[in-house]
């Protein structure tokens, strides 16, 4: 009996220690990073860039980005929520992942409590972007045109009910205007095509989403919904033009909720090293996005506060009939 007890205790000790050893060796294989939007958009480009640098912190393991679009980001984020919490599946969350999907209760199984937030890496104010030859030179020009011809100025948004749509609804309410809202689900890539093919007059998204077209002079920014100017592009802010309207997106990395803390710390350290690198900082400045790090000790509280504040604002818009839920 005594011998069996010792053997059982030894087996239990060995079993208990095995996961600790495995985690100490993390990562032992490739890490999947889910982008819940289509390829070619701003989020996709930023995540791919910082991830390619972050993987240099790991010996013998690669990090690869996979686009899983659908459901205003819920499809891809849902895969992260249900993944094994071992550090080998991560996700990139944006505004819609943290605000739109939960507020609209689009999927009953979608709960942010199923995620462990790792870090915020960027913030991106929304902006109005036009073709380089457009007659619109200012936000005042756009408002004036919309007042003169209600419902005829065509503005491309992404998903109806999402952040960008909310920004446009807020602009309409603030300026007593009506635009023709044209939805292009799936990120910024379809909006680019719409501007280039003259399907719309204006695109509403971040300047970073249109970085390549801004750089080659194909399009230009009219206004950015922020209080301070973008460090890359010389575009007036909404506050400068007399409109108290600020809104935008961000990118936050996350893992399944039960991912071990030491694994999350390893991932965070890799992304922080990538974030601080000259390569990433110079690159991100060139695409017009604001680097805006917030680590694991603060990002969850920030995300909760941001979501709750916007939930209240959107509920108020529902009560006034401007927004439907």
* Rounded distance between C-alpha atoms, residue 172 and residue 167, angstroms: 9
pTM of the model: 0.74
pLDDT-based confidence at residue 24 (cuts at 50, 70, 90): low
Task: Give the range with max mean pLDDT: 31-35, 38-42, 203-207, 303-307.
Answer: 31-35
- pLDDT for position 213: 94
Whether the CB-CB separation of 64 and 268 falls below 8 Å is answered with: no
Q: Cis peptide leading into 222, omega within 30 of 0? A: no
CB atoms within 10 A of CB 208: 28
Task: Indicate if 125-248 has the same CATH topology as 6-123+249-317.
Answer: yes
Six-digit token string for 241: 């033009």
Six-digit token string for 105: 């209760």
284-321: pLDDT as tens digits:
888 778 888 999 999 999 999 989 988 988 898 888 88
Helix (H, G, I), strand (E, B) or coil at 130: strand
Whether the CB-CB separation of 113 and 192 falls below 8 Å is answered with: no
> Counting runs of H as helices and runs of E as strands, what totals does the chain give?
12, 10
* Helix extents (H) in the chain: 2-24, 42-54, 74-82, 95, 101-104, 139-148, 163-175, 189-196, 211-215, 261-276, 278-286, 299-319
Tell me which residue of 103, 94, 112, 35 sits closest to 69, measured CA to CA. Answer: 35
CATH fold for the domain made of 125-248:
D-Maltodextrin-Binding Protein; domain 2 (3.40.190)
What CATH number does the domain located at 6-123+249-317 have? 3.40.190.150
Domain segments of the chain as ranges: 6-123+249-317, 125-248
């Amino acid at each position: 009996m005594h011998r069996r007890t010792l053997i059982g205790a030894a087996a239990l000790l060995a079993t208990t220690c095995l996961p600790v050893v495995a985690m100490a060796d993390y990562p032992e294989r490739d890490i999947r990073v889910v982008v819940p939007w289509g390829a070619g958009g701003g989020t996709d480009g930023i995540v791919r860039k910082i991830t390619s640098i972050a993987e240099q912190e790991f010996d013998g393991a690669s990090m690869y980005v996979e686009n899983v679009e659908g459901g205003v980001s819920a499809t891809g984020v849902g895969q992260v929520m249900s993944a094994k919490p071992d550090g080998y599946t991560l996700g990139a969350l944006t505004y819609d992942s943290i605000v739109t999907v939960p507020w609209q209760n689009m999927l009953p199984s979608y709960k942010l409590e199923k995620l462990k937030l790792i870090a915020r890496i960027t913030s991106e104010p929304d902006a109005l972007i036009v073709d380089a030859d457009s007659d619109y030179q200012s936000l005042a020009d756009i408002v004036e045109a919309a007042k003169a011809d209600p419902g005829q100025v065509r503005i491309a948004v992404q998903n109806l009910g999402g952040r960008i749509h909310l920004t446009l609804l807020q602009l309409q309410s603030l300026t007593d205007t009506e635009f023709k809202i044209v939805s292009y689900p799936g990120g910024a890539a379809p909006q680019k095509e719409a501007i280039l093919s003259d399907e719309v007059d204006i695109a509403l998204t971040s300047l970073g989403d249109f970085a390549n077209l801004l750089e080659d002079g194909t399009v230009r920014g009219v206004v950015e919904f922020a209080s301070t100017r973008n460090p890359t592009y010389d575009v007036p802010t909404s506050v400068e033009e007399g409109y108290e309207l600020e809104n935008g997106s961000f990118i936050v990395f996350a893992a399944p909720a039960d991912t071990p803390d030491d694994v999350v710390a390893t991932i965070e350290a890799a992304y922080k090293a990538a974030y601080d690198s000259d390569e990433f900082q110079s690159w991100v400045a060139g695409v017009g996005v604001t680097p805006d790090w917030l680590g694991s000790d603060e990002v969850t509280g920030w995300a909760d506060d941001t979501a709750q504040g916007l939930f209240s604002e959107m509920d108020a818009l529902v009560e006034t009939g401007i927004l439907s839920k």
